[in-house]
Amino acid sequence: MSPLSSSLSSRFFDATMLQPLASNRLLSAIFRSSNESFRRYFDFIANEFEPLLAKKRIAAEILGIIDETSDVRTFVLRPSVNWTAHLPGQYVSVEVDIKGVRHHRHYSLSCSPSEFKEHGIISITVKRVSGGRVSNYLHDHFTVGQLLHISPPAGDFVMDLLASDGAASRDESVPVMDVECAVGSSLFIAAGSGITPIMSMIESLAAASALAKPLTLIYVVRSSADVIFAERLTEIAALQSNFSFVIHETSLRGRLTKEQLAQHCTDMETRQIYVCGPYAFMEFISQSAEQMGAEPSHIKRELFGLPRTGAVEVAKDGSETVEQSATSGQVSFSASGQVVQSSGSKSLLELAEDAGLNPKYGCRAGICHECKCQKTSGRVMNMMTGKIIPDEQDQIQACISAPIGDLTVSTW
C-alpha cells in the first residue's frame, strides 16, 4: 500500500467512521430511522381506515354546504385531530388536486373559534371567481362527506386586544374566549367576499352576553343579492344593541365616498379599524380614515380578491406564449436579499449568478432538475419551449426559466 493511501485510510477513519459510532450518534440514528418508519406506517394505516387520524396533513370532512348567495358557498368542515383553534380573522390554505396538479388557495375562516371548541367544526366561505380554477372546482366538485386538506390557521389579520392599561397590543396569551372583554370600539369595513375574516371576528365578539364597546360594520356590495351572511348579521344586530351595520350597494349609490364613510362612523379617531377587500379599496379607506383622525397604527388590512402581485394578471391557461417585449423586470432573491434587473433573455440561473449568488446546478440544459428553486411570486417562461410555466407550479428549473416581469424566488 502506498504511503498516500495509508494516510488516506487513517484520516478517513478519524474523520468520519468513528464519530457515528459514539453512543449519542447511534441513539440519534436509531431515533431517525424508527421515527421515519413508524410515522410512515402510522399514516398509511390511518389513511386506509380513518383519514381524520392521519398526522402529516390536516384533513377536513365536509359536513355541510350552505348556499349564501348565487355564487358564494360556505363549507362546514370537521377538521382532523391535529387541528388547533384559530384566531378570528385568520385563514387556511386549502389544497385541491385538479388534473393531478395540487393547487393552494387561501380562504378565511368565517366562523368563531368557539364553534370548533364546542362542536368540533369550522367553516370557510368561498366565492366563485370568474375564471378561477380553485373556487369553481370547490363549488362544482365537492359534496358533503368528501375530504379536503387544509393547512393550520395562519395570518396576522387578527384583532388587537386592549391590554389592562388600555394600549392596544396583540397578546397571544389572552384566551380567545375572552376576546370580547379585551377589544376596544371597532369599525369593520368589508368589500364583497372580504366579509369572511371579519365575520369570524364579529361572531367571536357576538358570543359575549352583552358587548361593552360599540361595533360598526360597513359592508360594501354590488347589490343586495350579493350580501353574504345577511340573516346572521340582522340576528346579531337584534341581540346586541352595541352592534350596528350598514350595507352600501354600489349599484344603487355608486362607490363609497369619503363623506358617506364619515356619516357611517363619526368617531373614527377612537376606533380600531379592520378593512378587508381589494387593494385600491383598502388604500382609499385607509387614507380617508386617516384624514378623519384615525390613528394609522389602528388600521389593519387584509388583501382580498387579487392575485399575489399587482403586475401579474389572473391565471390563464398555461399554454400561451409570450412576446419578447414587456418581459423585463426585477428579480428578487429573498433568502439573500439580492435584487437584479432582468431583460427577459437571461435564465434565472444566470441572473442568480450575476447577483453574486452561488446557486446549485448540474447540466444547465433542463435534464437533471438540480437547479430547482422555489418561486414565490411572478411568472416565468420555459426557454426550451417558449411556453409560460403555469402559475401554480412554484418549483421551477432555473437553468431553463426566464422571468417575465417581476419575480421573487425564495431559494437563494
Would you count residue 8 as binding other proteins (CB under 8 A)? yes
Instruction: Say which entry of ligand FES, other proteins, none residue 394 contacts (CB below 5 to 8 A, set by partner kind).
Output: other proteins
Amino acid identity for residue 174 in this structure: V
Cell numbers that stand for 59 in this block: 384533513
Q: Which residues on neighbouring strands pair with residue 124, listed in sequence order? A: 75, 109
Partner interacting with residue 209 (select from ligand FES, other proteins, none; CB below 5-8 Å by kind): none
- 200 in Cβ contact with 207 (< 8 Å): no
Cell 390557521, residue located: 153
Contacts of 268 (CB under 8 A, 6+ apart): 187, 262, 289, 292, 293, 294
Residue 345's binding partner among other proteins, ligand FES, none (Cβ under 5 to 8 angstroms by kind) is none
Does residue 367 belong to the site contacting other proteins (CB under 8 A)? Answer: yes
First CA to last CA across the chain, in angstroms?
A: 45
* Among residues 103, 213, 232, 364, the one that binds ligand FES under rule CB under 6 A: 364
Stretch in the footprint of other proteins (CB under 8 A) among 27-35, 188-196, 275-283, 329-337: 27-35
Q: How many residues does the chain have?
A: 412
Interface with other proteins (CB under 8 A), residue from 81, 101, 163, 339: 101
Phi-psi domain of 332 (left: phi exceeds 0; alpha: psi -120 through 50; beta: other):
beta
Which is nearer to other proteins, 35 or 263 (by Cβ)? Answer: 35
Residue 5 near which of other proteins, ligand FES, none (CB within 5-8 Å, type-dependent): other proteins
Q: In this complex, which beta carbon is closest to other proteins, that of residue 102 or of residue 222?
A: 102
In angstroms, give the least distance from the CB of 249 to ligand FES. 53
Q: Which triple of cell numbers denotes residue 86?
A: 384559530
Q: How far apart are CA 129 and CA 106, in angstroms?
A: 13
Instruction: Determine if 371 is a binding residue for ligand FES (CB under 6 A).
Output: yes
Q: How far is the CB of 370 from other proteins (least distance, A)?
A: 5
Number of helices and strands (H, E) in the chain? 11, 19
Please state, in angstroms and rounded to a whole number, the distance separating the CA atoms of residues 193 and 37.
44
Q: What are phi and psi of 45, to 5 degrees?
A: -65, -45
Alpha carbon distance 308, 376 (integer Å): 9
Residues 189/274, Cβ–Cβ less than 8 Å:
yes
Half-sphere exposure of 122 (CA within 13 A, CB side): 31
User: Looking at 354, 370, 392, 394, which residue binds ligand FES (CB under 6 A)?
Assistant: 370
Binds ligand FES (CB under 6 A): choice among 202, 399, 402, 404 = 399
Euclidean distance between CA atoms 369 and 52, whole angstroms = 35
Q: In the chain, how long is the greatest CA-to-CA distance?
A: 94
Q: Does 366 bind ligand FES (CB under 6 A)?
A: yes
Least distance to ligand FES, CB of residue 397, Å: 5
Q: How far is CA 208 from CA 47, 188, 236, in A?
A: 39, 18, 11
Q: How far is the CB of 327 from other proteins (least distance, A)?
A: 22
Q: Report the residue from 24, 99, 145, 317 that binds other proteins according to the rule CB under 8 A.
A: 99
Interacting span for ligand FES (CB under 6 A) from 212-220, 252-260, 362-370, 378-386: 362-370
If binding is defined by CB under 8 A, does position 100 make contact with other proteins?
yes
Using rule CB under 8 A, residue 15 touches other proteins: yes
Task: Tell whether residue 295 is a contact of other proteins (CB under 8 A).
Answer: no
307 binds ligand FES (CB under 6 A): no
Chain-centre distance for alpha carbon 362: 33
* Least gap, CB of 406 to ligand FES (angstroms): 22
Contact pick of 281, 284, 361, 412 for ligand FES (by CB under 6 A): 361
Q: Which does 399 bind (CB under 5 to 8 A by kind): other proteins, ligand FES, none?
A: ligand FES
Q: Which of 41, 154, 224, 293 binds other proteins (CB under 8 A)?
A: 41
Compute the CA torsion angle 22, 23, 25, 26 (nearest 10 deg): 120
- Residue 25 engages other proteins in binding (rule: CB under 8 A): yes
* DSSP-based three-state secondary structure for 67: strand
Task: Give residues in contact with other proteins (CB under 8 A).
Answer: 4-5, 8, 11-12, 15-17, 19-20, 25-26, 29-30, 32-34, 36-37, 40-41, 44, 97, 99-103, 319, 362-363, 365, 367-370, 372, 385, 392-395
Task: Give residues in contact with ligand FES (CB under 6 A).
Answer: 361-364, 366-371, 397, 399
